[in-house]
């Protein structure tokens, strides 16, 4: 088994640094050289976004394989690149890149091509409006949230086209299911999103993030129980939107081979795959920004105010401890991890059950939640005792849940050998 020696062990940290560097490349110019022409800055932003998404997708694919493997009592990629197969996705990407571009007989060529692009490009573009910190954003749009939602929804078109253009009945089934599911779940998603928008009073993501700088109790999810419910609803709706298990009917392997992307191979398939992982991170980052403190740590940013205007190393430390892009990436990764966790644990829900859950359970719940929150916001002043009690209770629930989840993960990490329950079977004589 390759364990990784010396330089190879540094591979993974180098990869993380590259990830951060790509973000910095996108957004630092705006910070450091405000007088540069806009075109240069925009080109750098686009390059940075593409680099970030590609790097993240590669990392996420490797991570998913590792997480899946560990849950399934095996190891995952171990060889490619040395240390835990970190270069596996790189190798896979190169392999896919050099594969023959196959077109089916009877496939609708322009649409077949277009479908992959339409699925991929919106997933990239929405990172333009996604803030990694108050100043780390390519374009701070007034309607940033709406922009991101619109682009997430545009992915449905790519899926539908893929299913149709493949000239394959199974792909059609996958595409139909997908359209049904994604579009239906946009509605509870919207209702769940309206709740923090009501609280913040704006669609601008940086403004919503700035509201949550006063530590754990100020995180929007913990301000009142309706926001907590909205956070959970949002997470579930994005699960359905991203076609992740348990809502992965469109790519149900056992029934539809691979659903809408059955007939795609090589790099076109990689585009779908990249789009899915990009959307996963976007959904996680959005959940973090809207509900779970954006780029702020659980500690109030006030406590580190002195460091913000000190020397560079102190500013960096402030970013790491109190408020910075690492927190957003970390939270995004945590939600991505929860999505992966759910995928490898739960079975798949049938389509009619998916629709039932959406229309008859989530939608009324989301509507009532919005109504209740609106009434709460109207009647209960922000600094009253009731509001403070609600805030305290929700914060306590949230803190306990977060600590419990992290403790479970840590426990599993440290005791993984024992938990797998291996029964060592020595070969019997004669074997």
Partner 1 sequence: MTDINPPITGEAIPQPSAAPGTLHTEELLVNMGPQHPSTHGVLRLLLRTDGELVVEATPHIGYLHRCAEKIGENVTPVQFVPMTDRLDYLAAMNNNHGYSLAVEKLCGIEVPERARYIRVIMCELNRIASHLVSFGSYGLDMGAFTPFLYAFREREYILDLFEATCGARLTYNYLTIGGAAADLPEGFLQRLAGFLDYFEPKIDEYNRLLSYNYIFVKRTAGVGVISAADAIAYGLTGPCLRGSGVRWDLRRCVPYEIYDRFEFDIPIGVPGGTDDIPPEVVVGDSWSRYFVRMLEMKQSVRILRQCLRQIPDGEYRAKVPRVLKLPAGEVYLEVEGARGQLGFLVVGDNGPIPRRVKVRGPSFCNLSIIPHVCRQVLLADVAAILGSIDVVMGEVDR
Interacting residues with partner 1 (CB under 8 A): 68, 71-74, 169-170, 173, 176-177, 245-246, 248-249, 252-255, 257, 343-353, 421, 423, 425, 427-431
Distance CA 254, CA 206 (A): 42
156 three-class SS: helix
Pick between residue 25 and residue 71 the one whose CB is nearest to partner 1: 71
Q: Which lies closer to partner 1 via its Cβ, residue 98 or residue 254?
A: 254
d(C-alpha 328, C-alpha 131), whole Å: 9
Residue reference for tokens 């009619």: 352
Pick 169 or 388: Cβ nearer partner 1: 169
Supply the DSSP string of 4-48, one letter for each residue. Answer: --GGGGGHHHHHHHHHHHHHHHHHHHHHH-TTS-HHHHHHHHHHH
DSSP line for 309-363: GS-HHHHHHHHHHTBSHHHHHHHHHHHHHHHHHHHTTS-PPPHHHHHHIIIIIIH
CB of 74 to partner 1, least distance (A): 7
Q: How far is the CB of 420 from partner 1 (least distance, A)?
A: 8
Closer of 210 and 255 to partner 1 (Cβ): 255
> The tokens of 85 are what?
């197969």
Nearer to partner 1 (CB atom), residue 381 or residue 430: 430
Q: What is the dihedral of CA 157, 180, 268, 62, to 10 degrees?
A: 130
Report the alpha-carbon distance of residue 239 to residue 284 in Å, rounded.
Answer: 10
Q: Which of 193, 196, 201 is nearest to 221 (CA)?
A: 196
From the CB of 178, what's the least distance to partner 1, in Å? Answer: 13
Minimum distance from residue 87 beta carbon to partner 1 (Å): 24
In the complex with partner 1, the residue whose CB is nearer, 352 or 383, is 352
DSSP per position, 75-94: ----STTSGGGTTHHHHHHH
Rounded least distance, CB 412 to partner 1, Å:
14
Instruction: Tell which residue, 217, 266, 254, has the closest CA to residue 399.
Output: 217
Min CB(166)–partner 1 separation in Å: 14
Q: Give the nearest distance from C-beta 338 to partner 1 in angstroms.
A: 16
Shortest distance in whole angstroms from residue 114 CB to partner 1: 25
- Based on CB atoms, which residue is closest to partner 1, 42 or 255? 255
Contact of 115 with 171, CB cutoff 8 Å? no
Return the number of the residue (3 or 419) whose C-beta is nearest partner 1.
419
Spatial separation of the C-alpha atoms in residues 280 and 405, rounded to whole Å: 20
């Amino acid at each position: 088994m390759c364990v990784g020696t010396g330089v190879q062990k540094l591979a993974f940290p180098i990869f993380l640094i590259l990830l951060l560097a790509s973000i910095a490349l996108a957004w630092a110019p705006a910070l450091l050289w405000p007088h540069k022409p806009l075109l240069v800055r925009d080109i750098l932003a686009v390059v940075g976004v593409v680099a970030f998404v590609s790097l993240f997708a590669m990392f996420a694919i490797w991570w998913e394989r590792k997480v899946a493997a560990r849950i399934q009592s095996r190891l995952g990629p171990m060889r490619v690149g040395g240390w835990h197969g970190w270069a596996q996705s790189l190798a896979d990407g190169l392999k896919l890149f050099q594969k023959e571009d196959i077109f089916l007989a009877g496939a609708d060529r322009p649409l077949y091509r277009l479908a992959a692009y339409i699925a991929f490009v919106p997933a990239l573009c929405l990172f333009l409006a996604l803030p990694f910190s108050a100043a780390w954003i390519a374009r701070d749009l007034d309607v940033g949230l709406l922009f991101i939602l619109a682009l997430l929804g545009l992915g449905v078109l790519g899926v539908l086209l893929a299913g149709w253009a493949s000239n394959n009945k199974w792909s059609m089934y996958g595409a139909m299911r997908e359209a049904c599911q994604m579009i239906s779940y946009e509605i509870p998603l919207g209702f769940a999103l309206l709740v923090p928008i009501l609280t913040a009073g704006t669609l601008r993501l940086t403004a919503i993030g700035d509201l949550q700088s006063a530590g754990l109790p100020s995180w929007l999810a913990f301000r009142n129980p309706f926001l907590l419910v909205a956070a959970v609803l949002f997470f579930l709706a994005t699960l359905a939107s991203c076609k992740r298990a348990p809502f992965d009917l469109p790519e149900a392997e056992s029934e539809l081979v691979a659903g809408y992307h059955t007939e795609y191979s090589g790099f076109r398939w990689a585009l779908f795959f990249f789009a899915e992982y990009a959307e996963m991170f976007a959904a996680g980052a959005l959940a973090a920004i809207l509900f779970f403190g954006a780029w702020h740590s659980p500690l109030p940013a006030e406590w580190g105010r002195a460091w913000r205007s000190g020397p560079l190393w102190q500013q960096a430390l402030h970013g790491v401890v109190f408020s910075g892009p690492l927190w957003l990436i970390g939270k995004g990764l945590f939600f991505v991890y929860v999505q992966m966790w759910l995928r490898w644990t739960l079975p798949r829900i049938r389509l009619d059950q998916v629709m039932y859950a959406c229309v008859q359970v989530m939608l009324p719940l989301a509507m009532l939640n919005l109504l209740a929150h609106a009434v709460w916001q109207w009647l209960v002043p922000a600094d009253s005792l009731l509001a403070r009690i609600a805030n305290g209770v929700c914060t306590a629930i949230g803190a306990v849940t977060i600590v419990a989840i992290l403790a479970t993960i840590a426990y599993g990490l440290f005791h993984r050998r024992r938990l797998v329950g291996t029964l060592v079977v020595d070969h019997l004589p004669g074997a």
